[in-house]
């Protein structure tokens, strides 16, 4: 399938074309520029919902349960499972997709795992590019599932319209969850495995913490939803909350500003990548590697090294 | 305390000067350049050990226990606790430092928490700068504790000589831990809370997984250490393993290459930061914000936007 065909077929929702385009994203293929240019006019329609949380809280099960309620409504759904930590664990993550098998034969569901290569910034451009492909393919909702506490969550919040943070009783108490900074990025908090001991306490503590974060008078207050995703319990309510957050975003102008910020990050990541490539190719003992050697040997400090590299970059910039 | 005094006092281990210098790092103070230049010649001596793992596995308790065994040996220790997720949760993280209180009056121990502002790249430059200060202050060992699964761990592995990844039975099974990519960055794996049910199984599974990762014939095989950090059990063995890894690194040339890579990241982060600042200030409807608006509105794709921004940056580069 050449680029012309891909650009033609992806917007018609051709699954093989979508899968192929995402593989090109994963492999940083040179055709990406042309594909993205061809798909640009078809983007901006899908709702992007991020799901994140520590390992073991039930993200895959919750994602699968959400797919079910969305399909019951007749919405088409794409799932992008991103592992921001490692190029090596793609296999393990794919194995986990076994929980998604019930949707394997449903033509209204597209499921894809992707490792984001452990590069600085995690999701920085691979996941946003894949989101672009899925958006252009016409899926009503794209669920982005990512494992992680910390930077990965901050990243996903930057790429989703609505961010759902999951926790579970017994997986570290909710104080620990708050410590990991989830409250600031969560649009919706979920206590999954709510049939377990400690679930009520966890939900109550999370509500108290949400109340303590000052978000201004007009701002969205993240609801705390209790679910037992493995049995489908509470998942309908979760979807209602996601819908409500969507309405809030459209009404408040927040959707535009989130999507603007997302585009900004995408462009910035591409530019920074290009500038990084240049850093390794500057000549005259002013390239990154040589300067790093001087810093490691305590001959110069990193700012002096950075100044020299910047000057060399500026001198070598194409006119 | 002015810059001259700081640069004079930090290398003598003056605690107030060290604390002040790290505050300047946190606040991105303009004096940073001068301070880093002044301290450069004193760096490169400390051993940097990273400790990471999901919330609730007992990182703070393990760090505190390691401090105890290091102090018993007469080594001076600095602890840097980094929360890579959020500027808001600094308080929660500091509260956790209560577990460190036994060391509060020990002049051979310096403890500091730091939020890394949730900026792209997590630890990208604040933590390395703080490590530089602690290194220059002459601490024998610097323990960097960070919460997180995913990018935060990849980051810490980039900044430490030795990376210790902690897990605990019942905090998600070890398959989940492997999924989060810890095996690839861990130099040493710890099963903490080893007196709990499932600890033996977790340790066995981790050993099997470590054996499956092909690291080449000469490479370090990450040992799996079982600890009950709250009782100090196994912590002596953990320190021995850290020492062994240090000997391995020195013998194999790995220490130099890790430190070179670390310096490279530091310089790169400063240069990228400077280039990012420029992106927002380019004129003629070619700045990042305007181009992001075009991308968000599906008028152009991110590569076309990036190309325009790069050309504008090149034209405006200082000669």
- Secondary structure (DSSP) of B262-307: HHHHHHHHHHHHHHHHHHTT--SS-SHHHHHHHHHTTSS-HHHHHH
Smallest Cα distance from A249 to chain B, Å: 15
What is the reported pLDDT for B249?
94
Please give the residue of chain B at the shortest CA–CA distance from A85. Answer: B150
Give the tens place of pLDDT for each residue, B278-288: 887 776 656 88
Q: How many CB atoms lie within 10 A of CB A6?
A: 23
* Residue B151: pLDDT over 70: no
Tokens coding A136: 């252009």
Residue A293: strand, helix, or coil: helix
What is the reported pLDDT for B108?
87
B296/A178 CB distance under 8 A: no
Tell me the DSSP string of A206-223. Answer: HHHHHHHS---TTS----
Please give the residue of chain A at the shortest CA–CA distance from B303. Answer: A33
B176/A55 CB distance under 8 A: yes
> Which pTM value belongs to this model?
0.73
What is the reported pLDDT for A95?
41
**Average pLDDT, stretch A226-246?**
97
Tokens coding A149: 């506490």
Enumerate the β-bridge partners of residue A89.
none
B268/A276 CB distance under 8 A: yes
What is the reported pLDDT for A82?
78
Nearest to A318 among B121, B300, B314 (CB): B314
Please indicate whether residue A89 or residue A245 has the higher confidence score (pLDDT).
Answer: A245
Smallest Cα distance from A72 to chain B, Å: 30
Q: How confident is the model at residue A86 (pLDDT cuts 50, 70, 90)?
A: very low
What is the reported pLDDT for A152?
52
Please indicate whether residue A55 or residue B154 has the higher confidence score (pLDDT).
Answer: A55
* Residue B173: pLDDT over 60: no
Residue A95: strand, helix, or coil: helix
Helix H or strand E segment including B100: none
Please indicate whether residue A1 or residue B56 has the higher confidence score (pLDDT).
Answer: A1
Q: Residue B58 region, left (φ>0) first, then alpha (ψ -120 to 50), else beta?
A: left
Does domain A43-252 fall into CATH 3.40.50.300?
Answer: yes
Share of chain B above pLDDT 70, in %: 80
Residue B25: strand, helix, or coil: helix
B270/A176 CB distance under 8 A: no
Share of chain B above pLDDT 90, in %: 46
Tell me the DSSP string of B76-92. Answer: -EEEEEEE-S-STTHHH
* Residue A119: pLDDT over 90: no
Integer Cα distance of A49 and B80 in angstroms: 35
Domain segments of chain A as ranges: 1-40, 43-252, 267-316
Integer Cα distance of B319 and B317 in angstroms: 6
Smallest Cα distance from A277 to chain B, Å: 11
**Average pLDDT, stretch B49-57?**
83
Enumerate the β-bridge partners of residue A188.
A164
For B210, phi then psi, to 5°, come to -60, -40
Integer Cα distance of A79 and A287 in angstroms: 41
* Residue B204: pLDDT over 60: yes
Integer Cα distance of B159 and A210 in angstroms: 33
A296/B44 CB distance under 8 A: yes
For residues B48 and B112, the answer to whether their CB atoms sit within 8 Å is: no
Integer Cα distance of A286 and A316 in angstroms: 11
**Average pLDDT, stretch B185-206?**
90
What is the reported pLDDT for A115?
65
Maximum average pLDDT range among A183-187, B59-63, B314-318? B59-63
Integer Cα distance of A223 and A221 in angstroms: 6
Enumerate the β-bridge partners of residue B81.
B113, B145
Give the tens place of pLDDT for each residue, A61-83: 999 999 999 999 999 999 998 76
Enumerate the β-bridge partners of residue B225.
B190
Smallest Cα distance from B62 to chain A, Å: 16
* Residue B301: pLDDT over 80: yes
**Average pLDDT, stretch A192-206?**
90
Instruction: Collect contacts of A295-300 with beta carbons under 8 A, ≥24 apart.
Output: A295/B40, A295/B263, A295/B266, A295/B267, A296/B44, A296/B256, A296/B259, A296/B260, A296/B262, A296/B263, A297/B44, A298/B40, A298/B41, A298/B42, A298/B43, A298/B44, A299/B40, A300/B37, A300/B40
Beta strands across the sheet bearing A47-53: A109-115, A77-83, A141-147, A47-53, A162-167, A188-191, A224-226
**Average pLDDT, stretch A174-185?**
59
Tell me the pLDDT of chain B averaged across its residues.
Answer: 83
A150/B40 CB distance under 8 A: no
B147/A149 CB distance under 8 A: yes
Nearest to A37 among B40, B179, B301 (CB): B301
């Amino acid at each position: 399938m050449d680029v012309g065909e891909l650009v033609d077929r992806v917007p018609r929702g051709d699954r093989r074309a979508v899968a192929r385009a995402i593989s090109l994203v994963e492999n940083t293929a040179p055709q990406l520029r042309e594909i993205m240019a061809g798909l640009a006019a078809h983007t901006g329609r899908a709702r992007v919902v991020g799901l994140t949380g520590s390992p073991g809280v039930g993200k895959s099960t919750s994602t699968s349960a959400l797919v079910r309620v969305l399909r019951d409504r007749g919405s088409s759904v794409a799932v992008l499972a991103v592992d921001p930590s490692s190029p090596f664990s793609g296999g393990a993550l794919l194995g986990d997709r076994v929980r998604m098998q019930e949707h394997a034969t449903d033509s209204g569901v597209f499921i894809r795992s992707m490792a984001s290569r452990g590069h600085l910034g995690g999701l920085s451009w691979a996941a946003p590019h894949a989101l672009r492909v899925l958006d252009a393919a016409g899926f009503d909702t794209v669920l982005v599932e990512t494992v992680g506490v910390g930077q990965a969550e901050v990243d996903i919040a930057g790429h989703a319209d609505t961010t759902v943070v999951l926790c579970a009783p017994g997986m570290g108490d909710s104080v620990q969850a708050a410590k990991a900074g989830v409250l600031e990025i969560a649009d919706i908090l979920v206590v999954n495995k709510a049939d377990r001991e400690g679930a009520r306490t966890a939900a109550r503590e999370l509500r108290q913490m949400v109340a303590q974060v000052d978000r201004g008078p007009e701002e969205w207050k993240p609801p705390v939803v209790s679910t037992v995703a493995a049995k489908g319990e509470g998942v309908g309510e979760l979807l209602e909350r996601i819908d409500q957050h969507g309405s809030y975003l459209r009404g408040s102008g927040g959707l535009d500003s989130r999507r603007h910020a997302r585009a900004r990050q995408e462009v910035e990541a591409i530019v920074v990548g290009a500038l990084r490539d240049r850093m390794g190719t500057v000549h005259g003992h002013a390239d990154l590697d040589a300067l790093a050697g001087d810093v490691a040997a305590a001959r110069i400090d990193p700012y002096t090294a950075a100044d020299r590299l910047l000057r060399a970059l500026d001198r070598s910039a194409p006119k």
